[in-house]
Chain A
Protein backbone atom coordinates (compact mmCIF):
# COMPACT_ATOMS: atom_id res chain seq x y z
CA UNK A 1 0.00 0.00 0.00
CA UNK A 2 1.47 3.34 -1.03
CA UNK A 3 1.81 6.18 1.49
CA UNK A 4 -0.68 8.29 -0.42
CA UNK A 5 -3.40 5.66 -0.26
CA UNK A 6 -3.02 5.61 3.54
CA UNK A 7 -4.31 9.17 3.52
CA UNK A 8 -6.97 8.81 0.83
CA UNK A 9 -8.51 5.57 2.06
CA UNK A 10 -10.11 7.51 4.93
CA UNK A 11 -12.12 9.62 2.46
CA UNK A 12 -14.08 6.89 0.72
CA UNK A 13 -13.02 3.26 1.21
CA UNK A 14 -12.65 3.44 5.01
CA UNK A 15 -14.72 6.56 5.60
CA UNK A 16 -15.25 6.52 9.39
CA UNK A 17 -18.79 7.88 9.26
CA UNK A 18 -20.44 6.42 6.18
CA UNK A 19 -18.59 3.10 5.89
CA UNK A 20 -17.17 2.14 9.30
CA UNK A 21 -20.08 3.90 11.10
CA UNK A 22 -17.92 4.93 14.06
CA UNK A 23 -18.11 8.01 16.27
CA UNK A 24 -21.86 8.45 15.80
CA UNK A 25 -22.35 10.48 18.98
CA UNK A 26 -20.44 13.62 17.87
CA UNK A 27 -21.63 13.04 14.31
CA UNK A 28 -25.28 13.33 15.28
CA UNK A 29 -24.90 15.92 18.00
CA UNK A 30 -22.53 18.55 16.64
CA UNK A 31 -23.54 18.76 12.97
CA UNK A 32 -26.20 21.43 13.39
CA UNK A 33 -24.27 23.62 10.96
CA UNK A 34 -21.42 23.18 8.49
CA UNK A 35 -19.03 25.22 10.64
CA UNK A 36 -19.77 23.18 13.76
CA UNK A 37 -19.23 19.94 11.83
CA UNK A 38 -15.96 21.24 10.43
CA UNK A 39 -14.70 22.34 13.85
CA UNK A 40 -15.61 19.04 15.47
CA UNK A 41 -13.91 17.15 12.64
CA UNK A 42 -10.72 19.16 12.94
CA UNK A 43 -10.67 18.74 16.73
CA UNK A 44 -10.93 14.98 16.28
CA UNK A 45 -8.27 15.07 13.56
CA UNK A 46 -5.86 16.78 15.96
CA UNK A 47 -6.33 14.14 18.66
CA UNK A 48 -6.32 11.27 16.17
CA UNK A 49 -2.99 12.21 14.56
CA UNK A 50 -1.22 12.83 17.87
CA UNK A 51 -2.59 9.71 19.56
CA UNK A 52 -1.76 7.56 16.51
CA UNK A 53 1.83 8.84 16.55
CA UNK A 54 2.26 8.38 20.31
CA UNK A 55 0.64 4.95 20.37
CA UNK A 56 2.56 3.57 17.40
CA UNK A 57 5.77 4.69 19.12
CA UNK A 58 4.74 3.26 22.49
CA UNK A 59 3.08 0.02 21.36
CA UNK A 60 6.18 -2.25 21.23
CA UNK A 61 7.05 -1.27 24.82
CA UNK A 62 3.63 -1.70 26.39
CA UNK A 63 2.78 -5.04 28.04
CA UNK A 64 -0.20 -6.60 26.34
CA UNK A 65 -2.48 -6.78 29.38
CA UNK A 66 -2.37 -3.05 30.08
CA UNK A 67 -2.39 -1.73 26.51
CA UNK A 68 -5.97 -0.40 26.63
CA UNK A 69 -5.46 1.62 29.84
CA UNK A 70 -2.24 3.05 28.40
CA UNK A 71 -3.97 4.05 25.15
CA UNK A 72 -6.84 5.66 27.05
CA UNK A 73 -4.43 7.68 29.19
CA UNK A 74 -2.56 8.84 26.08
CA UNK A 75 -5.77 9.77 24.24
CA UNK A 76 -7.26 11.52 27.29
CA UNK A 77 -4.07 13.54 27.67
CA UNK A 78 -4.21 14.82 24.10
CA UNK A 79 -7.91 15.62 24.43
CA UNK A 80 -7.26 17.65 27.57
CA UNK A 81 -4.40 19.46 25.83
CA UNK A 82 -6.78 20.27 22.98
CA UNK A 83 -9.44 21.41 25.42
CA UNK A 84 -7.07 23.80 27.18
CA UNK A 85 -5.72 25.18 23.91
CA UNK A 86 -9.21 25.74 22.50
CA UNK A 87 -10.34 27.41 25.71
CA UNK A 88 -7.38 29.78 25.50
CA UNK A 89 -7.25 30.56 21.79
CA UNK A 90 -10.60 29.58 20.23
CA UNK A 91 -13.20 30.45 22.89
CA UNK A 92 -16.06 30.71 20.37
CA UNK A 93 -15.53 27.21 19.00
CA UNK A 94 -15.03 25.91 22.53
CA UNK A 95 -18.39 27.31 23.61
CA UNK A 96 -20.33 25.80 20.69
CA UNK A 97 -18.75 22.36 20.88
CA UNK A 98 -18.66 22.38 24.68
CA UNK A 99 -19.13 18.92 26.13
CA UNK A 100 -18.24 17.16 22.88
CA UNK A 101 -14.57 18.11 23.13
CA UNK A 102 -13.91 16.06 26.31
CA UNK A 103 -16.08 13.32 24.80
CA UNK A 104 -13.50 12.80 22.03
CA UNK A 105 -11.76 10.58 24.61
CA UNK A 106 -14.44 7.94 24.12
CA UNK A 107 -14.81 8.48 20.37
CA UNK A 108 -14.56 4.97 18.89
CA UNK A 109 -12.60 6.27 15.92
CA UNK A 110 -9.63 7.31 18.04
CA UNK A 111 -9.33 4.10 20.07
CA UNK A 112 -10.37 2.12 17.00
CA UNK A 113 -7.47 3.43 14.91
CA UNK A 114 -5.09 2.87 17.85
CA UNK A 115 -6.16 -0.76 18.14
CA UNK A 116 -6.64 -1.55 14.48
CA UNK A 117 -3.75 0.34 12.94
CA UNK A 118 -1.35 2.36 15.07
CA UNK A 119 -0.21 -0.44 17.37
CA UNK A 120 1.09 -2.56 14.51
CA UNK A 121 2.41 0.03 12.08
CA UNK A 122 5.26 2.51 11.92
CA UNK A 123 5.02 6.03 13.31
CA UNK A 124 4.92 7.61 9.85
CA UNK A 125 2.23 5.27 8.52
CA UNK A 126 0.17 5.81 11.67
CA UNK A 127 0.43 9.58 11.34
CA UNK A 128 -0.73 9.36 7.71
CA UNK A 129 -3.56 7.03 8.72
CA UNK A 130 -4.60 9.52 11.41
CA UNK A 131 -4.61 12.36 8.89
CA UNK A 132 -6.60 10.30 6.38
CA UNK A 133 -9.25 9.05 8.78
CA UNK A 134 -9.40 12.46 10.50
CA UNK A 135 -9.93 14.26 7.19
CA UNK A 136 -12.54 11.69 6.16
CA UNK A 137 -14.36 12.30 9.44
CA UNK A 138 -14.07 16.08 9.02
CA UNK A 139 -15.39 15.86 5.47
CA UNK A 140 -18.37 13.70 6.48
CA UNK A 141 -19.28 15.94 9.41
CA UNK A 142 -19.02 19.07 7.28
CA UNK A 143 -21.26 17.56 4.59
CA UNK A 144 -23.86 16.42 7.13
CA UNK A 145 -23.68 19.82 8.81
CA UNK A 146 -24.04 21.60 5.47
CA UNK A 147 -27.13 19.61 4.46
CA UNK A 148 -28.73 20.13 7.87
CA UNK A 149 -27.90 23.84 7.84
CA UNK A 150 -29.33 24.37 4.34
CA UNK A 151 -32.55 22.50 5.12
CA UNK A 152 -32.90 23.63 8.72
CA UNK A 153 -31.75 27.24 8.70
CA UNK A 154 -31.59 28.18 5.02
CA UNK A 155 -27.94 29.07 5.23
CA UNK A 156 -24.54 27.60 4.35
CA UNK A 157 -21.42 28.19 6.51
CA UNK A 158 -23.38 30.88 8.34
CA UNK A 159 -24.23 32.71 5.10
CA UNK A 160 -28.01 33.00 4.86
CA UNK A 161 -29.45 32.67 1.37
CA UNK A 162 -33.01 31.53 2.00
CA UNK A 163 -35.05 33.95 4.11
CA UNK A 164 -37.21 32.55 6.90
CA UNK A 165 -36.81 29.76 9.37
CA UNK A 166 -36.23 26.59 7.34
CA UNK A 167 -37.37 23.14 8.40
CA UNK A 168 -36.77 23.11 12.12
CA UNK A 169 -36.64 19.31 12.41
CA UNK A 170 -33.34 19.23 10.54
CA UNK A 171 -31.61 21.32 13.18
CA UNK A 172 -32.80 18.93 15.88
CA UNK A 173 -32.01 15.27 16.55
CA UNK A 174 -34.50 13.65 14.11
CA UNK A 175 -32.98 15.61 11.23
CA UNK A 176 -29.53 14.37 12.19
CA UNK A 177 -30.64 10.75 11.86
CA UNK A 178 -32.50 11.40 8.59
CA UNK A 179 -29.62 13.24 6.94
CA UNK A 180 -27.07 10.70 8.14
CA UNK A 181 -29.19 7.82 6.86
CA UNK A 182 -29.81 9.26 3.40
CA UNK A 183 -26.21 10.40 2.98
CA UNK A 184 -25.04 6.92 3.96
CA UNK A 185 -27.28 5.39 1.30
CA UNK A 186 -26.11 7.79 -1.41
CA UNK A 187 -22.48 7.41 -0.36
CA UNK A 188 -22.52 3.63 -0.50
CA UNK A 189 -24.46 3.53 -3.77
CA UNK A 190 -22.42 6.00 -5.80
CA UNK A 191 -18.99 6.47 -4.24
CA UNK A 192 -17.97 3.19 -2.70
CA UNK A 193 -17.13 0.76 -5.48
Chain B
Protein backbone atom coordinates (compact mmCIF):
# COMPACT_ATOMS: atom_id res chain seq x y z
CA UNK B 1 0.00 0.00 0.00
CA UNK B 2 1.01 3.61 -0.46
CA UNK B 3 3.63 5.18 1.74
CA UNK B 4 2.79 7.47 4.67
CA UNK B 5 2.33 11.10 3.54
CA UNK B 6 4.76 13.53 5.10
CA UNK B 7 5.71 16.91 3.73
CA UNK B 8 9.22 15.68 3.02
CA UNK B 9 8.36 12.56 1.06
CA UNK B 10 5.52 14.28 -0.81
CA UNK B 11 7.89 17.01 -1.98
CA UNK B 12 10.57 14.48 -2.82
CA UNK B 13 8.18 12.23 -4.72
CA UNK B 14 6.60 15.00 -6.81
CA UNK B 15 9.97 16.57 -7.58
CA UNK B 16 11.46 13.27 -8.68
CA UNK B 17 8.47 12.29 -10.81
CA UNK B 18 8.44 15.71 -12.49
CA UNK B 19 12.18 15.59 -13.10
CA UNK B 20 12.02 12.16 -14.71
CA UNK B 21 9.01 13.16 -16.83
CA UNK B 22 10.67 16.40 -17.91
CA UNK B 23 13.84 14.53 -18.88
CA UNK B 24 11.82 11.98 -20.86
CA UNK B 25 9.90 14.73 -22.65
CA UNK B 26 13.08 16.62 -23.41
CA UNK B 27 14.55 13.48 -24.92
CA UNK B 28 11.52 12.74 -27.07
CA UNK B 29 11.29 16.36 -28.14
CA UNK B 30 14.92 16.38 -29.25
CA UNK B 31 14.40 13.07 -31.02
CA UNK B 32 11.29 14.16 -32.91
CA UNK B 33 12.31 17.77 -33.56
CA UNK B 34 13.95 17.09 -36.91
CA UNK B 35 11.34 14.61 -38.21
CA UNK B 36 8.54 17.06 -37.29
CA UNK B 37 10.30 19.89 -39.11
CA UNK B 38 10.81 17.66 -42.10
CA UNK B 39 7.21 16.45 -42.11
CA UNK B 40 5.90 20.02 -41.91
CA UNK B 41 8.25 21.05 -44.70
CA UNK B 42 7.07 18.17 -46.87
CA UNK B 43 3.43 19.05 -46.25
CA UNK B 44 4.14 22.67 -47.16
CA UNK B 45 6.09 21.70 -50.27
CA UNK B 46 3.35 19.32 -51.36
CA UNK B 47 0.69 21.99 -50.93
CA UNK B 48 2.76 24.56 -52.84
CA UNK B 49 3.36 22.01 -55.60
CA UNK B 50 -0.36 21.22 -55.77
CA UNK B 51 -1.38 24.79 -56.53
CA UNK B 52 1.35 25.76 -58.99
CA UNK B 53 2.15 24.71 -62.56
CA UNK B 54 4.97 22.19 -63.02
CA UNK B 55 8.57 23.26 -63.41
CA UNK B 56 10.61 26.09 -61.96
CA UNK B 57 12.12 26.40 -58.53
CA UNK B 58 10.36 27.62 -55.38
CA UNK B 59 11.83 30.62 -53.57
CA UNK B 60 12.20 30.93 -49.81
CA UNK B 61 9.18 32.23 -48.01
CA UNK B 62 8.54 35.94 -48.26
CA UNK B 63 6.24 38.10 -46.23
CA UNK B 64 4.30 41.18 -47.09
CA UNK B 65 1.14 42.91 -45.99
CA UNK B 66 -1.89 44.25 -47.77
CA UNK B 67 -4.69 46.28 -46.16
CA UNK B 68 -3.20 45.65 -42.73
CA UNK B 69 -3.12 41.88 -43.13
CA UNK B 70 0.13 39.95 -43.18
CA UNK B 71 0.69 37.31 -45.86
CA UNK B 72 3.30 34.67 -46.50
CA UNK B 73 4.00 33.78 -50.09
CA UNK B 74 6.42 31.86 -52.28
CA UNK B 75 7.61 32.70 -55.78
CA UNK B 76 8.05 30.09 -58.45
CA UNK B 77 10.99 31.14 -60.58
CA UNK B 78 11.69 29.93 -64.06
CA UNK B 79 14.60 31.38 -66.04
CA UNK B 80 14.92 34.38 -63.71
CA UNK B 81 11.30 35.44 -64.10
CA UNK B 82 8.46 34.79 -61.69
CA UNK B 83 6.25 32.14 -63.22
CA UNK B 84 3.66 32.00 -60.46
CA UNK B 85 3.00 32.84 -56.81
CA UNK B 86 1.80 30.56 -54.03
CA UNK B 87 0.07 32.68 -51.39
CA UNK B 88 -0.96 31.50 -47.92
CA UNK B 89 -4.28 33.18 -47.33
CA UNK B 90 -6.36 32.90 -44.17
CA UNK B 91 -9.92 34.03 -43.50
CA UNK B 92 -12.56 33.24 -40.92
CA UNK B 93 -14.91 30.45 -41.90
CA UNK B 94 -17.88 29.02 -40.06
CA UNK B 95 -15.94 27.16 -37.39
CA UNK B 96 -12.74 29.18 -37.16
CA UNK B 97 -9.77 30.03 -39.30
CA UNK B 98 -9.76 28.71 -42.83
CA UNK B 99 -6.29 28.68 -44.31
CA UNK B 100 -5.67 28.16 -48.02
CA UNK B 101 -2.72 27.93 -50.32
CA UNK B 102 -3.61 29.77 -53.50
CA UNK B 103 -1.55 29.50 -56.67
CA UNK B 104 -1.78 32.70 -58.75
CA UNK B 105 -0.16 33.48 -62.08
CA UNK B 106 1.50 36.91 -62.43
CA UNK B 107 -1.42 38.28 -64.47
CA UNK B 108 -3.82 37.51 -61.60
CA UNK B 109 -5.24 34.25 -62.94
CA UNK B 110 -5.90 31.68 -60.24
CA UNK B 111 -4.05 28.45 -61.03
CA UNK B 112 -5.31 26.21 -58.25
CA UNK B 113 -6.30 26.28 -54.57
CA UNK B 114 -5.81 23.93 -51.64
CA UNK B 115 -6.98 23.91 -48.01
CA UNK B 116 -4.13 23.97 -45.50
CA UNK B 117 -6.19 23.89 -42.32
CA UNK B 118 -9.82 24.41 -41.40
CA UNK B 119 -12.32 23.88 -38.60
CA UNK B 120 -15.47 23.66 -40.72
CA UNK B 121 -18.40 21.35 -39.97
CA UNK B 122 -17.77 17.77 -41.14
CA UNK B 123 -20.10 16.87 -43.99
CA UNK B 124 -20.99 20.51 -44.69
CA UNK B 125 -18.27 23.16 -44.78
CA UNK B 126 -15.51 20.54 -44.64
CA UNK B 127 -16.52 19.63 -48.20
CA UNK B 128 -14.53 22.69 -49.31
CA UNK B 129 -11.61 20.24 -49.45
CA UNK B 130 -13.28 17.71 -51.73
CA UNK B 131 -16.25 19.26 -53.56
CA UNK B 132 -14.88 19.29 -57.13
CA UNK B 133 -17.83 21.24 -58.47
CA UNK B 134 -16.96 24.08 -56.11
CA UNK B 135 -13.18 23.83 -56.34
CA UNK B 136 -12.97 23.52 -60.12
CA UNK B 137 -14.55 26.95 -60.46
CA UNK B 138 -11.37 28.52 -59.13
CA UNK B 139 -9.01 26.74 -61.50
CA UNK B 140 -8.02 29.13 -64.25
CA UNK B 141 -10.29 31.87 -62.96
CA UNK B 142 -9.21 34.91 -64.96
CA UNK B 143 -8.18 38.28 -63.48
CA UNK B 144 -11.11 40.05 -65.14
CA UNK B 145 -13.68 37.79 -63.41
CA UNK B 146 -14.97 38.83 -60.00
CA UNK B 147 -14.05 36.35 -57.29
CA UNK B 148 -17.44 36.39 -55.60
CA UNK B 149 -20.33 34.02 -54.95
CA UNK B 150 -23.47 34.29 -57.05
CA UNK B 151 -25.31 35.42 -53.89
CA UNK B 152 -22.90 38.32 -53.52
CA UNK B 153 -23.13 39.40 -57.15
CA UNK B 154 -20.41 37.19 -58.65
CA UNK B 155 -20.44 34.06 -60.83
CA UNK B 156 -19.30 31.36 -58.40
CA UNK B 157 -21.63 28.69 -57.03
CA UNK B 158 -21.41 28.04 -53.30
CA UNK B 159 -21.24 24.58 -51.73
CA UNK B 160 -24.81 23.50 -50.93
CA UNK B 161 -25.78 24.52 -47.38
CA UNK B 162 -22.33 25.98 -46.69
CA UNK B 163 -22.55 29.59 -47.77
CA UNK B 164 -20.37 30.92 -44.96
CA UNK B 165 -17.56 28.50 -45.70
CA UNK B 166 -17.85 29.15 -49.44
CA UNK B 167 -17.78 32.89 -48.81
CA UNK B 168 -14.67 32.56 -46.64
CA UNK B 169 -13.00 30.38 -49.27
CA UNK B 170 -13.85 32.85 -52.00
CA UNK B 171 -12.59 35.77 -49.93
CA UNK B 172 -9.30 33.98 -49.25
CA UNK B 173 -8.81 33.38 -52.97
CA UNK B 174 -9.78 36.93 -53.82
CA UNK B 175 -7.34 38.31 -51.20
CA UNK B 176 -4.55 36.21 -52.70
CA UNK B 177 -5.30 37.54 -56.18
CA UNK B 178 -5.32 41.13 -54.90
CA UNK B 179 -1.99 40.50 -53.19
CA UNK B 180 -0.39 39.25 -56.39
CA UNK B 181 -1.80 42.22 -58.30
CA UNK B 182 -0.30 44.60 -55.73
CA UNK B 183 3.04 42.78 -55.90
CA UNK B 184 3.10 43.27 -59.66
CA UNK B 185 2.41 46.97 -59.23
CA UNK B 186 5.35 47.38 -56.87
CA UNK B 187 7.78 45.79 -59.32
Contacts and interface: CB of A to CB of B under 8 A. Distances in A.
Interface in B1-41: 1-6, 9-10, 13-14, 17-18, 21, 24-25, 28-29, 32, 35-36, 39-40
B3 A64 contact: yes
Given A74-B17, A89-B35, A63 B29 contact: no
A62 interface: yes
Given A65-B5, A66-B5, A88 B39 contact: yes
A171 B2 CA distance: 46
Contact of B123 (A77, A81, A88, A152): A152
A42 interface: no
A77 B21 contact: yes
Interface residues of B, number: 28
Contacts, number: 82
A70 interface: yes
B121 interface: yes
A62 B3 contact: yes
B153 interface: no
Contacts of A73: 14, 17-18, 21
B183 interface: no
A73 B19 CA distance: 10
14 contacts: A58-B17, A60-B1, A60-B2, A61-B3, A62-B3, A62-B13, A63-B5, A63-B10, A66-B13, A70-B14, A77-B25, A84-B28, A85-B28, A172-B121
